[in-house]
Amino acid sequence: MNDRYSRQILFREIGREGQQRLLDSRVLLVGCGALGAAQAEMLARAGVGNLRIVDRDFVEFTNLQRQTLFKESDAAERLPKAIAAKTRIAEINSEINVEAIVADVNNSNVEQLIDGIDLVIDGTDNFQVRYLLNDACVKHGKTWIYGAAVSSYGTTMTIIPGETPCLRCIFEDMPDAGSAPTCDTAGVIMPIIATVSATQVSEAIKLLVGDRAALHGSLMQFDVWQNDRHAIKLGAPNPDCPTCGLLFMPGDLPLNNTCKLMLLKTYTYIRW
x/- track of binding to Zn ion for residues 238-257 (CB under 5 A): ---x-xx-------------
Residues in the chain, overall count: 272
Residue number, 48 or 241, with CB nearest to Zn ion:
241
Residue number, 91 or 173, with CB nearest to Zn ion:
173
Size of the site for Zn ion (CB under 5 A): 6
Q: Could you give the CA distance from residue 267 to residue 139 in angstroms, rounded to a whole number?
A: 9
Q: What is the DSSP letter of 219?
A: E
CB of 248 to Zn ion, least distance (A): 9
Residue number, 59 or 166, with CB nearest to Zn ion:
166
Phi/psi region, residue 116 (left: phi>0; alpha: psi -120 to 50; beta: rest), is: left
Residue number, 157 or 241, with CB nearest to Zn ion:
241
CB of 166 to Zn ion, least distance (A): 3
168-171 long-range contacts (CB < 8 A, ≥24 apart) are 168/131, 168/134, 168/135, 168/241, 168/242, 168/243, 168/244, 169/237, 169/238, 169/241, 169/243, 169/244, 170/219
CB of 141 to Zn ion, least distance (A): 13
CB of 228 to Zn ion, least distance (A): 26
Residues between 160 and 219 with contacts to Zn ion, criterion CB under 5 A: 166, 168-169
Element (H, E) at 26: strand 26-30
Residue number, 127 or 222, with CB nearest to Zn ion:
127
CB of 267 to Zn ion, least distance (A): 12
CB of 130 to Zn ion, least distance (A): 13
Element (H, E) at 29: strand 26-30
Q: Could you give the CA distance from residue 240 to residue 231 in angstroms, rounded to a whole number?
A: 23
Residue number, 58 or 248, with CB nearest to Zn ion:
248
Q: Is 155 in the site for Zn ion (CB under 5 A)?
A: no
Helix, strand or coil, per DSSP, at residue 242: coil
What are the residues binding Zn ion (CB under 5 A)? 166, 168-169, 241, 243-244
